[in-house]
Amino acid sequence: MRIVSALAVALLGMSVVGAVTSYGIDTPPPYGGTTAAVVDDTGNLRVPADYRTAYQLLGSWVVAADDGPGSRELHVVYASPGTIAAYRKDGHFPDGAVLVKEVFDTRTEDMTTGTVSSAGALAGWFVMVKDDVGRFSGNKLWGDGWGWSWFDATDPQKTTSTDYTTDCRSCHEPARQSDWIYTHGYPALTR
Ligand code: HEC
């Protein structure tokens, strides 16, 4: 037993030394896997091409129409694989977690269930990427533990956002205590 755990400690020590020497103390490790497909080397985000099949559904929101029945917008939120399981374990979004929010215009019609609004044209996407270590401190689309960007439906590769503090943060202020995410709308995050 002793020898095994001593060996484990030695191996752990070696891998820590390896991580520090390859990236240096000031350079946090780059993202891997699913997240690497969303974030380029300088911290620019893009909408993951496969989120509708590879990601998991977090939940949805409807914004009521200002006049008349029905809703004017439908929002559907997805999380990268593993995010829901990790959140259920410790109540935190893990480093590298990707959230994608689709924004749809709606079509409202009478159906056999009542007056129903459903997804019409896609207006675009909001994307957020969790960052526990401050990878892109010089990039104005990163801060408060996340990367933040909006994409028009016509260009999922290039954001039109320029500064998350003015484009996003004030609107997410009410959710500051839950890591800037409106978690109460997501049944998948609770057991
Ligand atoms: C007008 C206010 C407003 C602005 C501006 C805004 N958000 Fe949000 N965002 C919300 C609200 C409210 C929700 C949850 C309810 C909803 O979708 O209607 C939300 C939800 C989200 C979600 C789903 C996860 C969550 O927090 O529940 C993401 C991802 C997101 N926003 C990203 C962004 C990013 C990135 C920006 C800036 C580019 C941004 N938002 C700007 C108000 C806003």
Structural class in CATH, domain 29-189 = alpha beta
Which amino acid does the sequence have at 136? Answer: F
| Residue 1 Cβ contacting ligand 1 at under 6 Å | no
Domain ranges of the chain: 29-189
Q: How close is the Cα of 21 to the center of ligand 1, in Å?
A: 38
The edge-to-edge listing of strands for the beta sheet with 142-143 is 56-64, 71-79, 98-111, 114-130, 146-152, 142-143
Q: How close is the Cα of 109 to the center of ligand 1, in Å?
A: 27
The CA–CA distances, whole Å, from 30 to 13, 41, 124 equal 20, 8, 27
| Residue 99 Cβ contacting ligand 1 at under 6 Å | yes
Q: What is the pLDDT of residue 144?
A: 98
Q: Are strands 71-79 and 146-152 parallel, antiparallel or unpaired?
A: unpaired
Which amino acid does the sequence have at 31? Answer: Y
Confidence of residue 1 (pLDDT cuts 50, 70, 90): very low
Q: pLDDT tens, 26-38?
A: 678 899 889 999 9
| Residue 168 Cβ contacting ligand 1 at under 6 Å | yes
Distance between CA atoms of residues 31 and 29, nearest Å: 7
Q: Which of 150, 152, 172, 176 to mutate to test the pocket of ligand 1 (most atoms within 8 A of CB)?
A: 172
Q: What is the pLDDT of residue 74?
A: 98
Smallest CA separation from ligand 1 atom 41, residue = 168
* 164 vs 29 pLDDT, higher one: 164
Q: What is the pLDDT of residue 154?
A: 98
Distance between CA atoms of residues 176 and 53, nearest Å: 30
Distance between CA atoms of residues 128 and 22, nearest Å: 27
Q: How close is the Cα of 128 to the center of ligand 1, in Å?
A: 9
Assigned token pair, 26: 């000031």
* 97 vs 22 pLDDT, higher one: 97
Confidence of residue 3 (pLDDT cuts 50, 70, 90): low
| Residue 58 Cβ contacting ligand 1 at under 6 Å | no
**Are 143 and 164 spatial neighbours (Cβ–Cβ below 8 Å)?**
yes
**Are 125 and 47 spatial neighbours (Cβ–Cβ below 8 Å)?**
yes
Q: How close is the Cα of 176 to the center of ligand 1, in Å?
A: 12
pTM over 0.85, yes/no: yes
* 191 vs 181 pLDDT, higher one: 181
| Residue 3 Cβ contacting ligand 1 at under 6 Å | no
What is the DSSP code string of 112-133? Answer: TTEEEEEEEEEEEEEEEEE-SS
Closest to 66 in 3D by CA, of 111, 102, 101, 106: 106
Confidence of residue 5 (pLDDT cuts 50, 70, 90): low
Q: How close is the Cα of 175 to the center of ligand 1, in Å?
A: 10
CA angle 16, 19, 20 (to 5 degrees): 90
What is the DSSP code string of 7-67? Answer: HHHHHHHHHHHHHHHHHTTTSPPPP-HHHHTTB-TTS-B---TTHHHHSEEEEEEEEEPSS
